[in-house]
Amino acid sequence: MYRQRFLLKLLVRKELKVRYRGSVLGIIWSYVKPGVQFIVFYVALGVFLGLEQSSTNKSGLPNYAIYLFSGIILINFFTEALGNASRSIVGNGGLIKKIYLPRQLFPVASVWVSAVHFFPQLLILVVACLFSDWHPSFLQLLAAVAGFIIIALLATGLGLLFGAANVYFRDSENFVDMLLMIATWASPVMYSWTMVQHKLGEAWYSIYQVNPITIAVETFHYAFWLPTTDGSAGIPPHLLSLWIPVGLLVSAAVLVWGQLTFRRLEGRFAQEL
């Protein structure tokens, strides 16, 4: 176990070093990119498109830029983690078919690398929140941690699954890309959950809510966006008591499923790659 931790650490470090090799700003890029992204959202969507709540647009969301960004960074994390994890086995094929080593480290390392890229984005979000008079409670921060864990487990589970499947069918790479595109729209990142409830009705809304990504995005809204508003918007009912446990459970189940599938398929990696 210790040996695996050390190897995992080196694999993550390798990935980060290789990513930023030959660039002057290096890891600072991972601050610049989300920072610029936030400013673009704020100006283009909040100011130009007028999605922000104002006297002329009563139905808009207050602090829309923060609403959007808190969801986006989580989706960014998920997209990068799952996308890279799905490609990690094929990408490291040269090694896997020559040396025996614990192969599940590659998808796991991809998720860790994405987590390293997630934290600068989180920092930008927190700075933006502080400018908007943010005062979260301890419970709200805890909910955000749960949301992050939900996404990390889900990305690892699906990453193991599709990483292994990709060895046999390269189609799964494209399938994952499609899945990731849907993920952005199938969770309340750009819009509010109340719209879904109004349009779909309670039954379908419950199904929509089971999606762990939806739950995780809502925990981030609850932790980062809600405490910057007057709090009148409200959060989905039973988010803490029901949906967070459901999200953790679904993600954990996906992780177990991914691990079992990976174990079943990994015996033939060396010859198929």
Partner 1 sequence: MTTAIEVTGISKQFVLRHTRSLKEAFIWLIKGRKGDLSEKFHALRDVDLVVEQGETVALLGFNGSGKSTLLKHISGVMIPDSGTVRTRGKVAGLIEVGAGFHHDLSGRDNVYLNGAILGMTEEQINERFQSIIDFAEIGQFIDTEVKFYSSGMYLRLAFSVAVHTNPEVFLVDEILAVGDEPFQQKCIAKIQELAAEGRTLVVVSHDLDLVSRICSRGVVLDHGHVTFDGSIHDAVAKLRGA
Point out which residues bind partner 1 (CB under 8 A): 2-3, 6-7, 10-11, 13-14, 17-18, 21, 94-101, 169-171, 267-268, 270-272
Q: Which residues contact 61 (CB under 8 A, 6 or more apart)?
A: 51, 52, 53, 67, 192, 233
Cross-strand bridge partners of residue 61: 52
CB of 116 to partner 1, least distance (A): 17
Q: Which residues contact 81 (CB under 8 A, 6 or more apart)?
A: 110, 111, 114, 115, 151, 152, 155, 156, 159
- Of 7 and 190, nearer to partner 1 (C-beta) is 7
Nearest 5 degrees, angle CA 29-CA 21-CA 99?
A: 125
CB of 4 to partner 1, least distance (A): 9
CB of 152 to partner 1, least distance (A): 23
CB of 158 to partner 1, least distance (A): 18
Report the alpha-carbon distance of residue 54 to residue 62 in Å, rounded: 8
- Of 107 and 247, nearer to partner 1 (C-beta) is 107
- Of 10 and 200, nearer to partner 1 (C-beta) is 10
CB of 10 to partner 1, least distance (A): 5
Q: Quick check: 215 and 209 in contact, CB under 8 A?
A: yes
Report the alpha-carbon distance of residue 29 to residue 204 in Å, rounded: 41
CB of 100 to partner 1, least distance (A): 4
DSSP code of residue 55? S
Report the alpha-carbon distance of residue 132 to residue 135 in Å, rounded: 9
- Of 11 and 150, nearer to partner 1 (C-beta) is 11
- Of 17 and 238, nearer to partner 1 (C-beta) is 17
- Of 45 and 101, nearer to partner 1 (C-beta) is 101
Q: How many CB atoms lie within 10 A of CB 18?
A: 9
- Of 13 and 33, nearer to partner 1 (C-beta) is 13
Q: How many CB atoms lie within 10 A of CB 263?
A: 13
Report the alpha-carbon distance of residue 125 to residue 154 in Å, rounded: 23
CB of 33 to partner 1, least distance (A): 21
Cα dihedral across residues 144, 150, 155, 160: positive or negative: positive
